[in-house]
Amino acid sequence: MTILIAIGVLAFLVFIHELGHFIFAKLSNVYVEKFSIGFGPKVVGFKYGETEYLISAIPLGGYVKMYGENPDDVKNNETSELHGRALTDVNRFKRALIVIGGPLFNYLLAIVIFWGLFASGIPDFKAQVGIVEVDSPAEIAGLKSGDTIVKIDSENIQSWSEVSSYIADNPNKDIEITLADGTVKTVTSIVIDQQNIFNETEPTGYIGIGLLLPPIIGQVVPDYPASKAELMRKDRVISINNESMSDWNDVRDTIRTNPSKELLVKVDRDGTIFDLKLTPMDSKEGDNTVGIAGVSPIEGNTLVSYGFLESLKLGVIKSYDFSKLIFVSLGKLISGTAPADQVGGPIMIVKTTADSADSGIGALLFFIAIISINLAVFNLLPIPVLDGGHLLILAIESITRRKINEKIIGGFQTVGLLLLLSLMAFAFYNDITKLLMN
């Protein structure tokens, strides 16, 4: 069932992408011959109005076939009833809108999903202090373990994420923290240098408080060391190398300080005790090497929801952040600073979608939004045959005010197609290799 859900998700994302092209083509009065989900021979289809709608045999994409894409279609069409309705008959601005419609709809889908998730409620943790570090600004100000934070400066607080984000965004400032009993503590944040998710170093506020989490696994990332060690969601980590794990911070710190070292992990899985071997992989953080295993703690103990407009704003911000992260990752792959085996294809997407479906509807929707953004970014790359390649050609023609020779465009598209097929073959190779290794 989860595999069928995963295939359905891929088909849905392709449908949304092609729907963007289709709608802008219709708005531009371009004749659309076919709207297909998948490539190759037709499996099933029907004609509605002037367009044939298809599901084709190879479910690895889709297409919208518009009249005029092939220059031979429009030769001597002055007397045809389709005269003026070819893709080449509309101006470059409308053609650009048709091209960008696919990625745009993928972005809109991601924003809508994030919008709905933020509005309906995101799992988070209560804003209750678990750890207060010795001699930290928080301890000096009188904060204690167990204190519940309800307000920071003028901002009402619902969750721990809001606490950590506000403090991180306000380094070297006096912060007023209001507790549930009405007590107000003034804490002076200090500045530390920390790497963000984009691997950029930035000054971050710090006061020395932490969340106390049970050592229970919430998510296991496919193809990472924890997955290969057969650790599972809801496993409680009892000890690592015979050292007792009292909270998630112990688990995280032990993994981080032991890159490439085999660890003996004792877990409690529904009352049964297991010993598993885990070897964290290396990860660079500035000049340091730390271990990562691909696990995260259990979901929050409270649902945090936001208003209509605030949820929309957060949806746009989240989509932007993921887009930026994808571009940073692509840059690292191209420069060779990230391993090429991180490139995944449809097989890994199906597998990860299935894993997300097992974790619940919220996790599945979140993953669909991320894949939709990936699809948008990938299609905007300036590679011939992709949407970004078409936009590049239109931009060159607009700047030079001259139409590029069809033979030159054909040559570029052939090179682009070979590049795309090579990338797909490499992605399939990585997918199959990872499956065999697991």
* Residues designated as active site: 18
**Rounded-to-integer distance, Cα 257 and Cα 359, Å:** 29
**Rounded-to-integer distance, Cα 174 and Cα 172, Å:** 7
Q: Which residues fall within 8 angstroms of residue 79, CB to CB, at 6 or more apart?
A: none
Are 31 and 70 in contact by the 8 Å Cβ rule? The answer is: no
Are 11 and 43 in contact by the 8 Å Cβ rule? The answer is: no
Q: Which residues fall within 8 angstroms of residue 67, CB to CB, at 6 or more apart?
A: 30, 31, 32, 33, 73, 74, 82, 85, 86, 87
Are 116 and 365 in contact by the 8 Å Cβ rule? The answer is: yes
Tokens 């994030």 locate to: 114
Return the C-alpha torsion angle 78, 83, 88, 93, nearest 10.
130
Q: Which residues fall within 8 angstroms of residue 393, CB to CB, at 6 or more apart?
A: 384, 404, 409, 412
Tell which residue, 195, 197, 178, has the closest CA to residue 186: 178
